[in-house]
Amino acid sequence: MESFIRGSCESMCPKAEIEMRTREKMLHFYELKPGSRTEPVERLVVKEFARSAAGVRRPKHWEIRTVAALKRTVEYLLTEIVQDDRRSYNFRYEFIFDRLRAVRQEVVMQNLSAKDTLDILEPIVCFLSYSAYQLCESHISEFDPQICNTHLQECLKKVLRSYDELEQESPSYNQNRRIRMEALYLAFNLGSSEALTRGINLPKHIRKRLSLQLSMNIEYLRHNYHRVLISLQKLPPLEAALAALKIPTIRQQLLLRFSSAFQSKVLSVPLEWIGHVLMYQRREHPSLIEDCQYYNLQLVHVDKPPPDQSTVANSPPTETPKDSWWDDSDDEGKDRKLSTAISSVLTGRSVKFEKARFDSSKPVVQPRRVEFVDRKLSAVTSIPALLMDGKC
């Protein structure tokens, strides 16, 4: 039977590692005294990640941090470092990501209980979710979304497995925290049948509080992408940030379907209408033109059509009937009142759709930060509180 080590180090970094990294000049900016390049602030030095490898000795108990030390480390990184604006956010992200990876490694090495695992991993999930959105426009040399997404998925699945285990041991756990994690999992895996199946099989009292997230996933799998875009704007800040990373894929799928539905040798579709349906908000209007060109769609300049000419833009909007599981609160009126001011960038431009022209072989465009998510995050009173406790 495999035995697990129990850590006894009460600091954020073992003494031996501090001495070694000081000697080898391997200290990070956030671990040095102000103005110094070599002298550490020992209480601020955080254990860095070291990959396990064959031939490397098993760490001693004094080299592994206790549960309390691990929690203090996570709290320090997500309250002090995350808002230290002496450096750019991607610089802070790299430091925090590495140190949190070492924390996760020690969680596995000690085989911590479900409760302790959740206390440590939940803030890490929130940090990775927040960072995935904040850095989505960064160059690959500054931020690798694939690595971030892989680690986020691993953490989310570990958290959900811990909740499944905790429910069998003690049904009196904090269900609000679980619902928050289940919602983030559904947002991050929007359109995944595996995530939807898990959500549908949750206990009824939990599933009921995830009705919006579940309905979004159902609509996504139904290819009702416009409904998904509308629902996405009703999510809390962190969930909206994660789900917004799927917006480029949703827009690509809508444009692909428009290429068949609106194919015509004579008529064209006004770019303003396309921007409205695809939820390109005002500051994104130039991006709409770029996306059309990227997918090889034909842009044309048109004069204002005569009053008796029937076009897509003049067609009355069709109502989508609500299903029994849909949230019946009447928020759609607010959604239709989203800003529809016509940007001069789009004025007089239309798209002439041809199915053969759409280049579906191209990868989906890189995610961009969107206005409504930025507004939600800017309204958050404290980012550290959002990451540590999920409080907005």
**pLDDT above 50 (res 114):** yes
| Residue found by looking up tokens 């691993």 in the block | 154
pLDDT band at 344 (very low <50, low <70, confident <90, very high): low
User: What local confidence, expressed as pLDDT, does residue 220 receive?
Assistant: 98
User: What local confidence, expressed as pLDDT, does residue 173 receive?
Assistant: 79
Kindly state the tokens that stand for 256: 């692909």
Mean pLDDT of 355-373: 94
| pLDDT (tens digit per residue) in 294-338 | 999 999 987 665 444 444 544 444 444 444 333 434 444 444 444
Measured CA to CA in angstroms, residue 311 lies from 89, 261, 264, 272, 314 at distances of 46, 13, 12, 13, 5
**pLDDT above 70 (res 285):** yes
User: What local confidence, expressed as pLDDT, does residue 324 receive?
Assistant: 36
| pLDDT (tens digit per residue) in 7-51 | 999 999 999 999 999 999 999 999 999 989 899 999 999 999 998
| Sequence-separated (6 or more) residues with CB below 8 Å from residue 169 | 114
3 state SS of 20: helix
| pLDDT (tens digit per residue) in 144-188 | 999 999 999 999 999 999 999 998 887 777 899 999 999 999 999
| Sequence-separated (6 or more) residues with CB below 8 Å from residue 136 | 145, 245, 366, 367, 368, 369
Calpha distance 195→82 (Å, rounded): 30
User: What local confidence, expressed as pLDDT, does residue 123 receive?
Assistant: 97
User: What local confidence, expressed as pLDDT, does residue 168 receive?
Assistant: 85
pLDDT band at 361 (very low <50, low <70, confident <90, very high): very high
The dihedral sign for the CA sequence 87, 132, 96, 385: positive
Using the CB atoms, write b or e for 268-298: b if 16+ within 10 Å: bbbbbbbbbbbbbbeebbebbbebbebbebe
User: What local confidence, expressed as pLDDT, does residue 54 receive?
Assistant: 57
Range with the lowest mean pLDDT among 6-15, 59-68, 208-217, 309-318?
A: 309-318
Measured CA to CA in angstroms, residue 107 lies from 43, 78, 111 at distances of 21, 18, 6
Alpha helices by DSSP H, 88-223: 89-110, 114-134, 145-169, 175-188, 193-200, 204-207, 211-221
**pLDDT above 60 (res 191):** yes
Share the mean pLDDT of the chain.
89
Could you tell me the pTM of the whole model? 0.89
**pLDDT above 90 (res 193):** yes
User: What local confidence, expressed as pLDDT, does residue 337 receive?
Assistant: 44
Determine which helix (DSSP H) or strand (DSSP E) holds 300, and give its type and residue range.
Answer: strand 298-301
| Residue found by looking up tokens 């072989």 in the block | 361
User: What local confidence, expressed as pLDDT, does residue 333 receive?
Assistant: 47
Look at 221 and 334; give whichever has higher pLDDT.
221
pLDDT band at 118 (very low <50, low <70, confident <90, very high): very high
Q: Which has the closest alpha carbon to 297: 345, 334, 260?
A: 260
User: What local confidence, expressed as pLDDT, does residue 172 receive?
Assistant: 74
Calpha distance 361→327 (Å, rounded): 36
User: What local confidence, expressed as pLDDT, does residue 316 receive?
Assistant: 47
Question: In the chain, what percentage of residues exceed pLDDT 70?
Answer: 88
Look at 197 and 305; give whichever has higher pLDDT.
197
